C-alpha cells in the first residue's frame, strides 16, 4: 500500500520512467495556457478587441422548449440586422480611433522618456 | 421578529451559492425571510426578484457576494443591518478571451468588493482564503463560515457500476477550472494504463463556444453531461472511482466534500480554499503535468490500501464540516449582525 504522503513522489518517479520509455508525451504547454491574460491587457490585445463582431450563436435559450425560443431570438436578430450593423460599425470606429490614439500617446511617452534619459 | 432576507446576484439550478441560500433558509427557520436575486434562471423555484424585497426596519440583509450585480449594490444604501458572505469572484484574466461580458462582470465584481466590505456590519467568508481577500478589501474581523453540505440531498438516486474505471470531474465548464488539463491527464492515463476508462465532466458550460472548444480537446471515453439533477449527480458519484480537479481558482470546492461523502478518492490541485477543505484526505499536486496526474489517478484507482486510507481520511474531513458544526458558525454570524 502507498501512503497518501508518498503518493506524489511515487507518481512523479513512475511518470518520469514511463515518459523515458515513450509511453507519455513530453511535457508541454496546455491548450488554454496562452488564452489567459493580464487584467490590464496590452495595446495589441486592445486593438484586437476593438473590432466588435458578435457571433449570433451566442443567442440561445435554457428554457424548456428552448429550441423554438432560440430560433425566434435569432430571427429577431436577423430582422434588426441593419440597425445592429450600424451600431457595431460606430462602436468599432470609436474603439479603433481610441486605441490608435493610445498607441500614439505611448510612442510619445517613450520618446520623452528616451530624451530625458539622454 | 427580526427576519433575515438573503440577496444574491444570480440564482441558478446547479449553482453553489443558490444552494447555500436554500441551506441557510432551512437553518434560519422562522427567522428566515425571502431569497431574492438579480437574475433568476427560469429553472429555479423559491427565489424572488430583487424588486419584491421589502424588508422591515429591524430586518437584516444577507448578501451572498459572488459576482457583479448593479441592483444588488443599490441595496447597500438601505438602512437595514447587513451581513456579507463572500463566496469569491473569479479573476477576469481567465475569461477575457472566452467570454468578454462575464470577464467584465468579474472585473467589476472584484473592484466593487471594498464597497460591500465597508457597508457590511458583519463580514463572513466561506474559507480562510476568501476571508483573506475580504480583509484585503477592507473588511475587519472576517468570520469563516464554511459551506453547509446537507447530507440528505446526497441520499437520492441509484448507481450502477461503470464498465471500466470512471473518473468524475464536477464543476462548471469555465476556463479557471482547467478542464483542458483534466482532459490531457485523463487521455494520458487512458493510453498508459486504462484503455476502458471513462471521464464524466459534470457542469454547465460558460457558453456554447467554450463547450465546443473543450469537446474539440477531448479524446475517447469523455462525456460532457452538462448540469445534472441532484439524484443524477449522486448516481455519478456512486459510480465514480476517483474525482479529479485541476482548477486554478476555487473559493471552497463543494465537490471535495461530496466525494468524501460517497467515499470517492480525490486527485486535485490545491487551488484557493481547497486545501482547507481537503486537508490530508486528497492526493494533491501543484504540478498539472498530464503524466504525473495520470500516475496519481492510477494509484488512486488501483491501490486498494491507499484508497481505503483516503476514504477514511475523507470521512474525518467530512466531520470537520458536519452540518451541525457549520450551523453553529452560521448562527454566530447571524447573532453578531442582529446584535450590531
Nearest to B299 among A11, A24, A36 (CB): A11
Q: What is the mean pLDDT of chain B?
A: 93
Contact state of A60 with B208 under an 8 Å Cβ cutoff: yes
C-beta separation of B243 from B255 below 8 A:
yes
How far CA A62 is from CA of A59, B36, B41, B42, B102, in Å, comes to 10, 20, 8, 8, 17
Q: What does the pLDDT average to over B261-266? A: 97
pLDDT of residue B185: 97
pLDDT of residue A39: 66
pLDDT of residue B153: 83
Residue B86, number of CB atoms within 10 A of its CB? 27
Q: What does the pLDDT average to over B148-158? A: 83
pLDDT in tens, B48-82: 999 999 999 999 999 999 988 888 888 999 999 99
The span from the CA of B248 to the CA of B251, in Å, is 10
Helices assigned H by DSSP within B4-123:
16-28, 70-74, 100-111, 113-119
Q: Identify the CA nearest to B145 among candidates B44, B65, B225, B33.
A: B65
How far CA B51 is from CA of B68, B72, B109, in Å, comes to 17, 10, 21
CB contacts of B229 in chain A (<8 Å) are none
Q: Which residue has the cell 491574460?
A: A37
What is the phi/psi pair of residue A74, to 5°? -70, -35
Structure confidence at residue B309 as a pLDDT band (50, 70, 90): very high
**A60 in contact with B at a CB cutoff of 8 Å?**
yes
Q: Pairing mode, if any, of strands B266-268 and B81-86?
A: unpaired
| Least confident window among A85-89, A91-95, B12-16, B176-180 | B12-16
pLDDT in tens, A33-87: 888 887 678 888 888 888 888 877 777 776 677 788 888 888 998 899 899 989 9
Which residues 265-304 of B have a C-beta within 8 angstroms of A?
Answer: 280-281, 283-285, 287-292, 294-296, 298-300, 303-304
Contact state of A25 with B188 under an 8 Å Cβ cutoff: yes
Q: Which three cell numbers stand for residue A66?
A: 428552448
Which residues, at least 6 apart from A53, have a Cβ–Cβ distance to it below 8 Å? A88
pLDDT of residue B255: 97
Q: Could you tell me how many helices (H) and strands (E) chain B has, helices first? A: 13, 13
Element (H, E) at B154: none
pLDDT of residue B162: 66
Model ipTM? 0.85
DSSP state of B171: S
Amino acid at each position: 500500500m502507498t501512503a497518501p504522503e508518498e503518493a506524489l513522489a511515487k507518481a512523479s518517479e513512475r511518470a518520469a520512467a514511463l515518459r523515458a520509455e515513450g509511453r507519455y508525451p513530453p511535457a508541454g504547454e496546455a491548450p488554454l495556457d496562452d488564452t489567459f491574460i493580464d487584467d490590464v491587457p496590452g495595446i495589441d490585445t486592445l486593438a484586437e478587441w476593438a473590432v466588435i463582431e458578435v457571433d449570433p450563436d451566442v443567442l440561445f435559450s435554457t428554457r424548456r422548449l428552448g429550441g423554438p425560443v432560440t430560433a425566434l431570438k435569432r430571427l429577431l436578430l436577423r430582422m434588426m440586422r441593419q440597425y445592429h450593423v450600424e451600431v457595431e460599425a460606430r462602436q468599432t470606429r470609436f474603439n479603433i480611433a481610441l486605441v490608435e490614439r493610445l498607441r500614439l500617446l505611448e510612442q510619445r511617452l517613450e520618446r520623452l522618456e528616451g530624451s530625458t534619459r539622454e | 421578529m427580526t427576519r433575515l432576507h438573503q440577496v444574491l446576484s444570480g440564482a441558478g439550478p446547479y449553482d453553489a451559492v443558490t444552494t447555500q441560500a436554500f441551506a441557510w433558509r432551512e437553518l434560519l427557520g422562522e427567522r428566515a425571510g425571502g431569497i431574492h436575486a438579480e437574475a433568476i434562471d427560469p429553472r429555479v423555484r423559491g427565489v424572488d426578484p430583487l424588486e419584491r424585497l421589502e424588508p422591515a426596519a429591524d430586518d437584516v440583509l444577507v448578501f451572498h457576494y459572488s459576482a457583479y450585480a448593479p441592483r444588488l449594490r443599490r441595496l447597500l444604501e438601505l438602512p437595514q443591518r447587513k451581513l456579507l458572505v463572500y463566496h469569491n469572484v473569479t479573476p477576469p484574466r481567465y475569461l477575457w478571451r472566452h467570454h468578454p461580458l462575464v470577464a467584465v462582470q468579474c472585473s467589476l465584481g472584484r473592484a466593487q468588493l471594498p464597497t460591500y466590505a465597508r457597508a457590511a456590519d458583519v463580514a463572513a467568508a466561506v474559507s480562510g482564503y476568501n476571508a483573506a481577500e475580504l480583509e484585503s478589501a477592507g473588511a475587519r474581523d472576517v468570520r469563516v463560515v464554511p459551506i453547509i453540505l446537507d447530507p440528505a440531498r446526497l441520499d437520492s438516486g441509484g448507481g450502477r457500476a461503470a464498465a471500466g474505471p470512471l473518473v468524475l470531474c464536477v464543476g462548471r465548464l469555465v476556463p479557471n477550472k482547467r478542464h483542458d488539463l483534466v482532459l490531457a491527464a485523463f487521455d494520458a492515463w487512458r493510453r498508459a494504463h486504462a484503455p476502458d476508462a471513462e471521464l464524466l465532466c459534470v457542469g454547465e458550460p460558460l457558453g456554447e463556444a467554450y463547450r465546443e472548444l473543450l469537446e474539440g480537446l477531448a479524446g475517447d471515453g469523455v462525456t460532457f453531461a452538462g448540469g445534472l439533477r441532484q439524484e443524477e449527480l449522486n448516481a455519478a458519484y456512486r459510480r465514480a472511482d476517483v474525482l479529479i480537479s485541476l482548477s486554478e481558482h476555487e473559493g471552497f470546492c463543494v465537490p471535495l466534500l461530496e466525494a468524501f461523502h460517497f467515499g470517492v478518492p480525490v486527485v486535485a490541485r490545491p487551488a484557493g480554499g481547497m486545501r482547507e477543505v481537503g486537508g490530508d484526505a486528497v492526493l494533491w499536486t501543484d504540478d498539472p503535468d498530464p503524466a504525473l496526474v495520470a500516475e496519481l489517478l492510477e494509484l488512486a484507482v488501483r491501490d486498494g490500501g491507499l484508497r481505503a486510507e483516503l476514504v477514511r481520511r475523507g470521512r474525518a474531513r467530512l466531520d470537520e464540516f458536519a452540518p451541525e458544526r457549520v450551523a453553529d458558525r452560521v448562527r454566530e454570524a447571524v447573532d453578531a449582525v442582529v446584535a450590531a
